[in-house]
Amino acid sequence: MKLNKAERIKRTRVPVTDPALGDRLPPGQVLTERFPVLHEGDVPEYDLNTWTLKVWGHGGEEIILSYEDILGMPQTTVTRDIHCVTRWSRFDNTFTGVKFQDLLKEIGVTPTSEYLMLHGDYDYTANVALSDLDCEDVLLAHSLDGEPLTAKHGFPLRFVVPHLYFWKSVKWIRGIEFIGENQPGFWEQNGFHINGDPFKEERFSGEDLDIPEDEWEKKEFD
Ligand SMILES: Nc1nc2c(c(=O)[nH]1)N[C@H]1C(S)=C(S)[C@@H](COP(=O)(O)O)O[C@H]1N2
Ligand SMILES: [Mo]
């Protein structure tokens, strides 16, 4: 029997953390210099003239942004470590894009709900608390290390929430939905933790769920 993703991660040997990395590497993580590619489904292709980002659920009318709108907003660059629940961490990733805080200012949205659902192609979702997005280093990023994101890493726009496990950093972001009550997104419904703080090792949900096959079969780097 093939194990589902959460079950497989649970069974992998817990790596010994290099003490020289101090508190920088979260517990149970291994440092990698390569940049693994992980996702469900196909890599989308876009025409940037028709690409849109929608925002809804905030009380007002649905807001539809073009790629030009995003590039016209204040731009921010941050360098952060990222941590994947499959146990790799990568230090010093420099992302450029629009801070979530600036996006809200630019579109004049004052959130009244505490939770959001992020929607990425194709039909990928991740739930996040507003408090986890209301940070100086949460970006809708279009570039990594000064270059546009590659298609596999989320071109043209991805979320980057560096202080949560990387599954929350939705690639190919197309929708930002404000939701009244916290609801699990794709991986959160499939054995993973509702919050996902790597320093607290919030990897798995307690429930024993039936989980579909995952992207690990085609592990690759880009
Ligand atoms: N749209 C979308 N975003 C996604 C995913 C996905 O399947 N679809 N996978 C998530 C997971 S599980 C991880 S670990 C990271 C991987 O990002 P990377 O391929 O740039 O390393 O993207 C996240 N964002
Ligand atoms: Mo992941």
Report the C-alpha gap between 42 and 200 in whole angstroms: 32
CB of 153 sitting under 6 A from ligand 1: yes
Over 80: is that where the pLDDT of 18 sits?
Answer: no
In single-letter form, the type of residue at position 98 comes to: V
Average pLDDT over residues 164-170: 98
The pLDDT assigned to 58 comes to: 97
Sorting pLDDT into bands at 50, 70 and 90, what band is 10?
A: confident
| Residue 152 CB burial class (10 angstroms; 0-12, 13-18, ≥19) | middle
CB 168 within 8 A of CB 159: yes
170 or 222: which leads in pLDDT = 170
**Domain 5-221 is of which CATH architecture?**
Alpha-Beta Complex (3.90)
Using one digit for the tens of pLDDT, what is the confidence trace for 22-41? 899 999 999 999 999 999 89
Report the C-alpha gap between 152 and 113 in whole angstroms: 32
C-alpha of residue 169 to centroid of ligand 2, in Å: 9
CB of 192 sitting under 6 A from ligand 1: no
The pLDDT assigned to 218 comes to: 47
CB of 158 sitting under 6 A from ligand 1: no
Using one digit for the tens of pLDDT, what is the confidence trace for 51-84? 999 999 999 999 999 999 999 999 999 999 999 9
Look-up of token digits 């024993």? 208
Best of 8, 39, 217 for a ligand 1 pocket test (most atoms within 8 Å of beta carbon): 39
Over 60: is that where the pLDDT of 5 sits?
Answer: yes
How many residues are present in the chain? Answer: 222
The pLDDT assigned to 220 comes to: 76
Report the C-alpha gap between 210 and 5 in whole angstroms: 10
Look-up of token digits 């079969």? 217
CB of 169 sitting under 6 A from ligand 1: yes
Q: Beta-strand (E) ranges in the chain?
A: 30-31, 36-37, 52-56, 63-66, 76-83, 88-99, 115-120, 124-129, 139-144, 147-148, 158-160, 173-179, 220-221
Residue ranges per domain, the chain? 5-221
- Nearest Cα to Cα of residue 68 among 134, 156, 150: 156
C-alpha of residue 38 to centroid of ligand 1, in Å: 5
Using one digit for the tens of pLDDT, what is the confidence trace for 107-156? 999 999 999 999 999 999 999 999 999 999 999 999 999 999 999 999 99
Structure tokens at 173: 């972001």
CB of 167 sitting under 6 A from ligand 1: yes
Please give the mean pLDDT across all residues of the chain. 91
